[in-house]
Chains A and B, each alone.
Chain A
Amino acid sequence: MTEDDGGRGASEVRADRAAATGADSGSVEPVARIERVGHAFDGLEVLDDVSLDLRPGSAVALIGPNGAGKTTLLRIVAGLLRPDAGRVRVADGRRSNAGGSEARRPVRAGDEEAGARGARSVGYLPQSPSFRPRFSVAETLEFYADLVPGPVDVDAALDQVGLGSVRDRRVAALSGGMLRLLGVAQAIVGDPPLVVLDEPTGDLDPAMTDHVFEAVESLAAGGTAVLLATHDLTGAERADEVAFLDAGRLVFAGPPADFVSETGAASLPDAFLRQVRGEDGVAPAVRRGVER
């Protein structure tokens, strides 16, 4: 929750965000379209026919058990891995101030040099972010800022993730959580229309975790599409949608409340366990809101 949200529920915040960005999930052109993606490593299938739309102003939490294929999917969406089957279409980095889709031009999958000429299309936080240890926090972010066209307010970006007070500290002296926050700050450099975060709260304490999810909500409120893989189901409940990946298959995509209700659970953690364990009353492959 942001401070302005007070004690309101996640669904109310999502409704406000959708209203502010015009991101009624059915009507807005997606920033990225994952189309029937499949992938295997050494013959072992890790993704099977995954389709998902990522819309501006919407945060999607990718959840699922370890080894479900979340990181692989994120790497494919970030353009770091070519899928064996299907494709991912991502809009280029140009975006309107309102965060709408008009200024976005879809680029063809594989058009690597197109990205090299223009703005940043996808922001990416790897599962284990790492930076040159002898550089300071500010120097690290300044390096990334220099890679994108146009000015970047490095101090504002550091303040946004709560690292403003350690801007001159060496990366080597950062805690694991701070390193991750620096990774989050790096992921939003260049104001990409899509931000992909792999376990952004992995090493963080509850306060920092809350801070990261606030940052995610703030990004989405500004019109950015966010796709994050997480095991923090309390945080995932704050996303606009959850996408449940199990053994490489997307078995659910939709609002967290729908996932909870369709699994007959009382909460998202409970729904997660029911889905993973295949307990009574749970459809093992519920699909909702997944466009093929």
Chain B
Amino acid sequence: MNRSALLAVAGRELGTVVRTRSSVALAAVYALLVVGVAWTAGLSGYLSATLDLLAPMEALVPALALAFGYRSVYDDARSGELDVIRTYPVSRSGFVLGVYLGRLAPLLVVVAAPFVAVAVLVAVGGGAGSSVIASHGGADTWVLLVRFAVLTEMFAAVALAVALVVSTVARSLRGAIALGVAAAVALVVGFDLGIVAALGAGAVGEGSLQWLLAASPNSAYRGLVLQTVLGAVTTLPTPAASAPANLLGLLAWLVGALALAVVTVWPGGGR
């Protein structure tokens, strides 16, 4: 892989995102929503902020990631610039990885920024501690919020990889939008509904439940947050999920989506 080409592609994507007003507007809206949710919930502590934000994040992060990435490759294909790039010594994997990394960097900053704001607000105005968990067994520390933020970044990275696939397979702007919405719906509720349906139909045994939960990015993310944040401070029984399985699930989605994007980024024909 040509590293300099990869970095050039990444730099171009980063420059594009930074200079695109809609990206900046999206980042601002996302930050306001996250801080707003935490604020209205009371900012009583780091743990409660995590619990208050978990459900909104499951919807906001995929939506944000898809907005950041669903047109990334499609725009180049539509304008014809992708054809030009293909005449340079750039491999499919180098190009896809460059686009991914170039979009991931600003996305991670945007995702993390409101966590900093929430942490500051809790530190300054909070302090009542968590009262929602009766069996609270640990300290309510900022480390919990950091863990939550890191896991949210991982979730965002997976969602962006899915967005990249959308951008490589879309053949029209409408198609890209439709695919983006479909991917967002699938990530937010679709896979979870599939798990519920499988459980309802008795198609899944108790032993394979943890793998089924890990197979859904949303569920894997939720499970990891509950296990590593909630599980760290409570004696309550943790959900029937496995942290390694969930990590493996997210990793599989990340690698699988990027691999699919590499395959579909441009036709196999040509010289």
Q: Which residues of A contact B (CB under 8 A)?
A: 75-76, 78-82, 88, 90, 93, 107, 109-113, 115-132, 134-135, 139, 143-144, 146-149, 183, 186, 189-190, 192
Contact = CB atoms under 8 A, between A and B. Distances in A.
Contact of B7 (A111, A122, A146): A146
Given A93-B89, A132-B81, A143-B11, A112 B16 contact: no
Tell which of B81, B94, B270 has the most Cβ of chain A within 10 Å: B270
Contacts of A80: 83, 86-87, 269-270
Contacts, number: 113
B12 interface: yes
Contact of B88 (A75, A113, A128, A190): A190
Contacts of B175: none
Contacts of A124: 83-84, 87
Contacts of B139: none
Interface residues of B, number: 31
22 contacts: A78-B270, A82-B268, A82-B271, A88-B271, A110-B271, A112-B271, A116-B94, A118-B89, A120-B88, A121-B87, A124-B84, A126-B84, A127-B80, A131-B81, A132-B15, A132-B16, A135-B15, A143-B8, A146-B7, A147-B2, A147-B90, A149-B2
B4 interface: yes
Interface string B65-89: 0000000000000011101111111
A127 B51 CA distance: 55
B5 interface: yes
Given A111-B271, A186-B84, A116 B89 contact: yes
Nearest to A115: B89
B264 interface: no
Interface in B219-271: 267-271
Contact of B270 (A82, A123, A129): A82
Contacts of B79: 130-131
B135 interface: no
B40 interface: no
* Pairs of residues from A and B, 4 with the lowest C-beta to C-beta distance, nearest first: A82-B269, A79-B271, A146-B8, A130-B79
